[in-house]
């Protein structure tokens, strides 16, 4: 275990520039999105209008996911989450392949074989480094949202969502790196998995038909979902308890529900 920890520190030292750039860049994207939403869609009427347009446009839903109600926090999450999650996934896949299959191609892994360390020490260290990097990313994303003026609880949930997606792709990239023969092919396959996940998420959000009529407001100050004649019982229940400007026959993915 001591050897694995030393290897983690060695890998972190090699990535002392790349990882901070990834983490700060993703975090700043969240901060910039928060500032843009607060500036351009600060009023609830503006938020409801843009979300109503998005809910009626499958292309918009494919790119960004399902909106989860009005308010600065939900609109920021709807606008930024899909792209920050993709960037976190790419950060994780490139990190894993760089320290596993690419090191084997360049001969660095042979140096490790000359010291008394487990054969899987490099992979174990990479998994630890990937998990720590995504934990730090989650903290920085949450801190960025808090600095932008969003509530702390929702900011923590949003940061955890981004970090969790990145951590999942650490494992997927590790599998790709072990199966494929070169670092280039492993990077391509891992990036393809990221694209496939985004495509699957986009199709799930874009397909389906609206299950409610969102044109009637029943709670002062909110745009609420009112079940239409063909809405299911579950849709009617969701419509009663969740103020929002969308409701669809297909429920949203669990990780797309806004933490705010």
The confidence score (pLDDT) of residue 113 equals: 62
Whether 35 shows a pLDDT value over 80: the answer reads: yes
Nearest residue to 156 via CA among 139, 168, 134, 131:
139
Percent of the chain with pLDDT over 90: 39
The residue-averaged pLDDT of 193-198 equals: 94
Whether 238 shows a pLDDT value over 50: the answer reads: no
Nearest residue to 85 via CA among 36, 134, 130:
134
The confidence score (pLDDT) of residue 222 equals: 38
Nearest residue to 84 via CA among 149, 151, 118, 134:
134
The 10s digit of each residue's pLDDT in 63-86 is: 888 777 777 888 888 888 999 999
Nearest residue to 76 via CA among 160, 151, 169, 165:
151
Split at pLDDT 50, 70, 90, the class of 144 is very high
Cβ(138)–Cβ(157) below 8 Å: no
Nearest residue to 64 via CA among 226, 22, 55:
55
The 10s digit of each residue's pLDDT in 147-188 is: 988 888 889 999 999 999 999 999 999 999 999 988 899 999
Cβ(126)–Cβ(95) below 8 Å: yes
Whether 233 shows a pLDDT value over 90: the answer reads: no
Question: Model-level pTM greater than 0.85?
Answer: no
Cβ(166)–Cβ(30) below 8 Å: no
Cβ(26)–Cβ(162) below 8 Å: yes
Cβ(22)–Cβ(140) below 8 Å: no
Nearest residue to 137 via CA among 105, 175, 167:
167
Count Cα neighbours of 140 within 13 Å in the Cβ-side half-sphere: 19
Split at pLDDT 50, 70, 90, the class of 96 is very high
Q: Worst-scoring range by mean pLDDT, 33-37, 110-114, 189-193, 238-242?
A: 238-242
Split at pLDDT 50, 70, 90, the class of 232 is very low
Split at pLDDT 50, 70, 90, the class of 256 is low
Q: Which residue has the higher pLDDT, 74 or 234?
A: 74
Whether 229 shows a pLDDT value over 60: the answer reads: no
Mean pLDDT (the chain, rounded): 79
Whole-Å CA distances, 102 to 8, 27, 58, 96, 156: 16, 27, 40, 9, 34
The residue-averaged pLDDT of 8-32 equals: 93
The confidence score (pLDDT) of residue 176 equals: 92
The confidence score (pLDDT) of residue 106 equals: 77
The confidence score (pLDDT) of residue 40 equals: 84
Beta bridge partners of 212: 227
Which residue stretches of 151-182 are H helix? 152-179
The residue-averaged pLDDT of 110-123 equals: 70
Which residue stretches of 41-112 are H helix? 44-55, 58-64, 72-99, 101-106, 108-112
Q: Which residue has the higher pLDDT, 251 or 109?
A: 109
Q: Which residue has the higher pLDDT, 117 or 176?
A: 176
The confidence score (pLDDT) of residue 240 equals: 35
DSSP state at residue 107:
T
Interaxial angle between packed helices 18-40 and 121-147, expressed in degrees from 0 to 180 and rounded to the nearest 10 = 30
């Amino acid at each position: 275990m001591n050897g694995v920890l030393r290897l983690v520190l060695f890998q972190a030292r090699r990535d002392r520039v790349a990882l901070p750039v990834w983490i700060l860049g993703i975090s700043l994207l969240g901060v910039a999105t928060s500032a843009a939403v607060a500036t351009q869609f600060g009023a609830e009427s503006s938020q409801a209008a843009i979300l109503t347009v998005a809910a009626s446009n499958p292309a918009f839903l494919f790119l960004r996911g399902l909106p989860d109600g009005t308010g600065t926090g939900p609109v920021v999450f709807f606008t930024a989450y899909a792209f920050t999650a993709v960037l976190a996934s790419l950060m994780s896949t490139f990190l894993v392949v760089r320290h596993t299959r690419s090191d084997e191609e360049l001969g660095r892994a042979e140096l490790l074989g000359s010291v008394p360390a487990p054969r899987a020490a490099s992979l174990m260290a990479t998994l630890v480094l990937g998990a720590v990097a995504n934990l730090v990313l989650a903290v920085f994303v949450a801190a960025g949202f808090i600095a932008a003026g969003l509530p702390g609880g929702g900011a923590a949930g949003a940061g955890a969502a981004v970090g969790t997606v990145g951590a999942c792709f650490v494992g997927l990239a590790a599998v790709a790196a072990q199966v494929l023969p070169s670092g280039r092919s492993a990077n391509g396959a891992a990036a393809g998995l990221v694209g496939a996940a985004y495509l699957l998420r986009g199709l799930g959000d874009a397909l389906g038909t609206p299950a409610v009529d969102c044109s009637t407001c029943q709670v002062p100050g909110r745009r609420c979902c009112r079940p239409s004649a063909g809405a299911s019982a579950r849709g009617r229940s969701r419509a009663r308890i969740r103020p929002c400007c969308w409701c669809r026959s297909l429920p949203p993915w669990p990780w797309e529900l806004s933490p705010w």
